[in-house]
Structure 1
Amino acid sequence: MTTSTTPEPSATAPLVDLQALVVAVRRRRRLWCSAGVLGLLVGAALAVAMPAPPTAVTKVLVAHQEDQPNDPGTLIRTDVALLQTTRIADQALKSLHSAEKPEDFMKDYSGVGLTNNLLQITVTGDSDADAEARAKALADAFVADHVKRIKDAANAEAKALLDQRDRMQGELAKVNKTIADGSAQTGPTASADLESLFARRAELTSRITDFSQRAADARIGTPQLLAGTQIVDTPDAVRGSLPKAAATNAAVGLVLGLVLGLAVAAVGSVVADRPVLRRDIAANLGASVITELPLRGGRLWRRRRTRTARERLTTSLARTARGTAEPVSLLELGCARSTSAIALDLARALGADGPVAVVDGLPGSQLARRRAKPGDPAVVDGSAAVPHQERRIGVGSVAPGTAWTDLQYLGTRTVLVVRAGHGSAAWLHTVARQLADQRIEVIGVVLIDPDPRDRTDGTLWDGLHTALRGRGDRTARQGGTDRPRTERQPMWAARVPDSDQEAR
């Protein structure tokens, strides 16, 4: 029966740990900083390689018959939309005697409403003179089209009013004829009919006069609108600055590169699920973090602190190795060089008590093939035999592809040297389970390349900080009893089904 080693999130745990996400993104600052620098360089290069085409700008004052003080800009937006039509583009091209298609010309210009009555037109061309000529033709075409629409609207309104007047004049003529025919009649009924006809004639005469006045007013208002629509700013070429354009494009590229880089780093951190906080690494390995060391020497002002931390770690490991008769090993995950240096320091510290041999179990025998310095302990290959009277310090790896059954020959007690953010949470669980199966006790975790702003606690307070099953079996054997231990289990062991534990 197989048991999954993938960690199961708690029911109350958030889907994304924001603190771990921020730390993971900050650790990948090389990625998003490189993306930002790349965007900056690409933006500046585009400004130099693809300079802005010659551009001309003109402004047109547009008068509307429906102008209102509280207009939200609907009328000027309509004018901008009308500017982007093939009719106006075609009229401008005809005035330029150009064979270019209106659809292609529409891609070279744009309009924007500065106010409710002021329209700005921007046109590009092959040269400054060409851009100015195209802007002038386009502005003239727009003004002519706008004037034509105003005249057509005024004429249509006046014609409708005059048609109404003519219809009423025809009706008035019929009323006058009826009055003339009935004036010779006498009697009470004839008098009443004549009074009604006279009243109707007076009403028609008044309405005819009203329609005539309204038609005249409609035509009188048109010249004001025609005079109000005009080009107020002649086309002028825009003088572009290459340094300014390069700086603008570089700033835009920098921002876009940073945003893209941060997005990629965040998504990659969530998908990879590589713990970087000491709290998460300790919880996934089931062992406490005993110290932290930088990946390399670190900055100049931190080297003294790093050297002190390495000396303390060496003293602590030497004390542990002297207090046990079992061989001690150092198992690395993503930091073979740091692990080798720690092993050599430990061997030198133990060399005063007697002969010490460092057993190299790293892939490729990196440690055994190194150039030895005077005073260094003996380094042997993992397959070499070591005398029983000589103390052994094993150095191995728990990276993917490790031969787990060989780790117990390096040492039954081990210190895990793990680089922060190197292994996924699932793999850390696998390491803890495999070491427990091999009955290898984990003394603690040495964290390499930790986040300097990490303030989480790497000590497991709710249980033993070792691989619990291996330690429990060893304690039972040393006590001479086979009774099972009833200690609390770490988070990954608590999820193993009872049937699987019985099978083991």
Structure 2
Amino acid sequence: MTTPATPDAPASAPLLDLHSLVVSVRRRRRLWSALALLGLLAGAAVAVLLPPPPTAVTKVLVAHQQDQPNDPGTLIRTDAALLHTTRIAGAALKAMGSPERPEDFMEDYEGLGLTNNLLQITVTGDSDAEAVARAGALADAFVADHVRRIREAADAEAKTLLEQQARMREELDRVNEAIGDGPPQGGPQDSATMESLFARRAELTSRVTDFGQRAAEARVGTPRLVAGTQIVDAPRVVRHSLTGAAATNAAIGLVLGLVLGLAVAAVTSVVADRPVLRRDIAAHLGASVIAELPRRTVAPWRRRRTRAARTRLTTSLTRTVRGSAEPVSLLELGCARAAGDLALDLARALAAEEAVVVVDGLPGALLAGRRPRPGDPAVVDGGRAAEAPPGERALGVGSVRPGTPWTDLRYLGTRTVLVVRAGHGSAAWLHTVARQLAEQRVAVIGVVLIDPDPRDRTDGTLWHGLRTGPHTDPHTGLHGRDERPARNNGGGTSHAVRAVGDGPRRTERRPMPAARVPDSDQEAR
């Protein structure tokens, strides 16, 4: 059987809600901002505390016998690789008279091919003078090795050609001896033999001449290649700017820290599964968001607005408590101090017309242990709630955090307002709270959301699916019996307080679905 989809209750939820993910990451801005700042400071500290060693650079023009206009840089990369050999490193150290091992010296320099024939050599040292001396010795050793290899290659080629020419000369001498002083007197067979000998002599003479020319040409190009391989940029010290290096490293550290912080915030948001949108919190608790209050106000221009919102919420809750024949309580999740302050404000407002006692069920007796101010109502510990005078109205304040004794919540009040901090409880725990309150027959009037996301435009009002069952107040719906819809002009709840019973009410009847399968344990009850 397929559950019919309604506008407020979609048939299926997405596997990953990007809206909730973005809001969760934004709420963790302290984490990724701290990591970004840490990366910024670490980058700048690295540039200051670990400055680069003295460095010298030189450039060598390298001529190759196999140079081609379309060479992709294979020859110059070969030269850069040859630069990192113990033979060249050892020759440079020998020229400087240094006892350092060639393997250790190879770690202090590098070669980079700038073009097909231009090699840049970068060398570090303990001082500027040592770096320059090392760069010069290394460049000279490379040029000498390159010239030596060119000459050895030319000499080897010329030697091979001359050896071939010598063998051709020996064969030519043998042919000349066979021919003799003149043509022999004989038959046609002897004439054919002489003709072949003359042809062979002519061929050998041509090849001897060719090998001689090639041997000469093999050495002709060597001086040009030797002259073309030279140091074109004398070794010089590379100047490092501490300010530029610090700025570059700081920027790199800032980017890396920011990326790492965003990644950690995103992963922890997905793994923790802590609802932050009023839509999700209302859906998991099975009660509408009836009011919102910021957790703290730092900006001076927002304090007045926060005090006004808190006053409106207190006035609204005062009317709700006065109109309720059953005791009312405030149960907090992640905001014990805010719930305690709200309970005291509510008790002060009620004390103007009737006697009120606040039953403190918060962890650590937060209200009972504080010093009372003049005009504050009486506060008793939750364990002594039965000692309260019979004629006074009891206003309970407790907690639904993990480890809560659920059986004591009913003694604080059979009707309650949940004061929940956004993003504090996981989705599983919000379901647990809703189920436990239903089992204890504690009716939820609504949810007061503390520290909401300022850019949240979702609707925290549950319009469909009234809760019915043996453990539910028949006069309390999912959207709250005494509340107004928490919406603004943008389709979501505004950032000011939407308090219960504040202002004229507007009753709107909406058609209920004919049949609906419960999608949670609370609705099933």
TM range (shorter): 0.7 to 0.9
1:209–1:388 distance in 2 versus 1, CA, 3 Å: farther
| CA positional deviation for 1:339 | 0.7
1:14–1:180 distance in 2 versus 1, CA, 3 Å: farther
Aligned to 1:81: 81
2:287/2:462 contact within 8 Å kept: yes
Aligned to 1:459: 461
Letter of the structure 1 residue corresponding to residue 460 of structure 2: G
Answer yes or no: is 1:53 the counterpart of 2:53: yes
Q: 1:120 & 1:420 partners in 2: Cα distance?
A: 60
Aligned to 2:34: 34
Letter of the structure 2 residue corresponding to residue 417 of structure 1: V
Letter of the structure 1 residue corresponding to residue 216 of structure 2: A
1:494–1:85 distance in 2 versus 1, CA, 3 Å: farther
Superposed counterparts of 1:304-323, under 5 Å: 304-323=304-323
Superimposed CA distance per residue, residues 260-319 of structure 1 (whole angstroms, 9 cap, x where no aligned partner): 222322222222222222222222222222222111234222223322322332233223
Q: 2:102 & 2:15 partners in 1: Cα distance?
A: 54
Superimposed CA distance per residue, residues 399-448 of structure 1 (whole angstroms, 9 cap, x where no aligned partner): 11111111111112211111112122222222122222212222221111
1:294/1:306 contact within 8 Å kept: yes
Q: 2:407 & 2:515 partners in 1: Cα distance?
A: 26
Runs of 4+ in structure 1 over 6 Å off = 466-469, 472-475
| CA positional deviation for 1:453 | 1.7
Q: 2:316 & 2:107 partners in 1: Cα distance?
A: 74
Aligned to 2:441: 439
Answer yes or no: is 1:286 the counterpart of 2:314: no
| CA positional deviation for 1:197 | 2.5
1:311–1:494 distance in 2 versus 1, CA, 3 Å: closer
| CA positional deviation for 1:236 | 0.8
Letter of the structure 2 residue corresponding to residue 443 of structure 1: I
SS of the aligned residue for 2:206 comes to helix
The farther-off stretch of 221-230 and 25-34 is 25-34
Q: CA RMSD in A?
A: 2.6
Question: Tell me, which stretches of 5 or more residues in structure 1 are unaligned?
Answer: 1-9, 476-485
Aligned to 1:174: 174
SS of the aligned residue for 2:221 comes to helix
| CA positional deviation for 1:16 | 3.5
Q: 1:224 & 1:207 partners in 2: Cα distance?
A: 27
Q: 1:34 & 1:101 partners in 2: Cα distance?
A: 46
| CA positional deviation for 1:15 | 4.3
Question: Tell me, which stretches of 5 or more residues in structure 2 are unaligned?
Answer: 1-9, 477-513
1:88/1:138 contact within 8 Å kept: yes
| CA positional deviation for 1:493 | 1.8
Superimposed CA distance per residue, residues 234-278 of structure 1 (whole angstroms, 9 cap, x where no aligned partner): 111122233333323322322222222223222222222222222
The normalised TM-score by structure 2 is: 0.84
Q: 1:439 & 1:248 partners in 2: Cα distance?
A: 63
SS of the aligned residue for 1:79 comes to helix
The farther-off stretch of 42-51 and 88-97 is 42-51
Aligned to 2:420: 418
The farther-off stretch of 99-108 and 176-185 is 176-185
1:439/1:470 contact within 8 Å kept: yes
Q: 1:469 & 1:292 partners in 2: Cα distance?
A: 30
Answer yes or no: is 1:492 the counterpart of 2:498: no
Q: 2:20 & 2:360 partners in 1: Cα distance?
A: 34
Answer yes or no: is 1:118 the counterpart of 2:118: yes
Aligned to 1:470: 471
Superimposed CA distance per residue, residues 4-54 of structure 1 (whole angstroms, 9 cap, x where no aligned partner): xxxxxx996554333222222222222222222222222222333222211
The farther-off stretch of 434-443 and 167-176 is 167-176
SS of the aligned residue for 2:471 comes to helix
Aligned to 2:252: 252
Q: 2:167 & 2:305 partners in 1: Cα distance?
A: 106
| CA positional deviation for 1:371 | 2.1
The farther-off stretch of 114-123 and 166-175 is 166-175
Q: 1:149 & 1:330 partners in 2: Cα distance?
A: 91
Aligned to 1:381: 381
2:435/2:522 contact within 8 Å kept: no
1:128–1:298 distance in 2 versus 1, CA, 3 Å: closer
Aligned to 2:405: 403
Aligned to 2:102: 102
Percent of residue pairs identical: 73
SS of the aligned residue for 2:311 comes to helix
Q: 1:285 & 1:324 partners in 2: Cα distance?
A: 22
Q: 1:48 & 1:379 partners in 2: Cα distance?
A: 59
| CA positional deviation for 1:120 | 1.2
| CA positional deviation for 1:473 | 7.6
The normalised TM-score by structure 1 is: 0.87
1:383–1:471 distance in 2 versus 1, CA, 3 Å: same
